[in-house]
Amino acid sequence: MSEPRRFFLQALIGWGLAPLSFAQATPFDHSYASWDALLKKHVRWLADNKQSRVDYATLLTERSSLQKILGEWSAVSQTQFNGWGREQRMAFLINAYNGFTLELILSKYPKLASIKDLGSLFQSPWKNKFFQLLGESRELDWIEHEQLRPIYRDPRVHAAVNCASIGCPALRPEAFTANKLDAQLDDGMLRFMADRTRNRYNAASGKVEVSSIFKWFREDFERGDRGFKKLDDVWAFYADQLSDDPAGRDKLRAKGLSVTFLDYDWSLNKP
C-alpha cells in the first residue's frame, strides 16, 4: 500500500469513517443481541400468551437504537448473505421484515391507527421502497413474496412476519435466530392456531373459522412443504389448538368441514 493511501485510510478510521470493507470485517451478530433486547423491552405477550402488543410510545424514544440496528442489517452485502446457511438467511429476512415494519410505523406514529394509513390509493405500504437491503432499495413485499415464500417454502413463516396489526400473528418479544428457528416457527404457529379470536372450530355451526391468512396464502399451505396438501390437513394437524372439545378435534381430524374466513383486524397492535 502506498504511503498516501495508508495515511488516507488511517485518517478515515480516526474520524470514524472507515470504508465499507473495514465495516464488513466485523463479524455479523447472528444472535441479534441488540435487536433481541429492544424487542424484549417494548413487546409484551398478552395474558393469553397468544397475542402480543408493541409499546410504540416507548419504542419511539429509542428509535435511534432501532435505526442503528437496521443500518447494520442494511450494510450486509448480497455476497455476505449468500455465504450464510439457510436458517441464518431465513432468520435475517424475518428479523428484517419485522424491524423495518416497526420503523415504518414509527415514521408516522402516533398519527396513525393502522399500517394501512401509510399507503395511498396508488401504492400499498408494503410496496414502499423505504429501506436498503442486500445492496438495493427494497420494500416489505420483496422480503415476503420474493424471498421468504418462494425460496424457503415454509408456511410457518406466516406466523413469524408481523404486519403491525391486531389480526396478524403475534410479533415475538425476541429475535429469530438460526439455532432456534425451527422451534420458534413451530411455537408461532401453535400460538396463532390456538388464538380463538383468529382460528377456531365452531361446534354450533360445525365449521372451521380461521384467519384470512389461509385464504390469501392458501397455496403456501397446500403445496406439501410441511406435509399439508389441503387446508383440511392443516386443521387436522392443529386440531388440539382449534378445539377444546374431543368431539370437535375428532371432526377436525376426520376432515371435510366447511370453512369460514374471518375478517382481518388491521388496527395497530398497540396496548
Instruction: Write out pLDDT tens, residues 124-162.
Output: 999 999 999 999 999 999 999 999 999 999 999 999 999
Confidence grade of residue 226 (pLDDT, cut at 50, 70, 90): confident
What pLDDT sits at residue 94? 99
pLDDT at residue 13, as a whole number: 38
Structure confidence by residue, pLDDT tens digits, 61-120: 999 999 999 999 999 999 999 999 999 999 999 999 999 999 999 999 999 999 999 998
The mean pLDDT of the chain is 92
Among 118-122, 208-212, 266-270, the minimum mean pLDDT is found in 118-122
pLDDT over 70 for what percent of the chain? 91
Strand pairing category for 131-133 and 136-138: antiparallel
CB-CB contact of 269 with 165 (8 Å): yes
Identify the band that residue 122 occupies on the pLDDT scale cut at 50, 70 and 90.
Answer: confident
Using an 8 Å Cβ cutoff, are 144 and 94 in contact? no
CA distance linking residue 154 with residue 152, whole number of Å: 6
Q: Give the pLDDT of residue 25.
A: 52
Q: Decide: 208 and 221 in contact? Cβ < 8 Å.
A: no
Provide the pairing of β-strand 259-262 with 207-211.
parallel
pLDDT band at 11 (very low <50, low <70, confident <90, very high): very low
pTM above 0.85, yes or no: yes
Mean pLDDT of 188-211: 98
Q: Which helix (H) or strand (E) holds 58?
A: helix 56-60
pLDDT tens sequence across 177-189 = 999 999 999 999 9
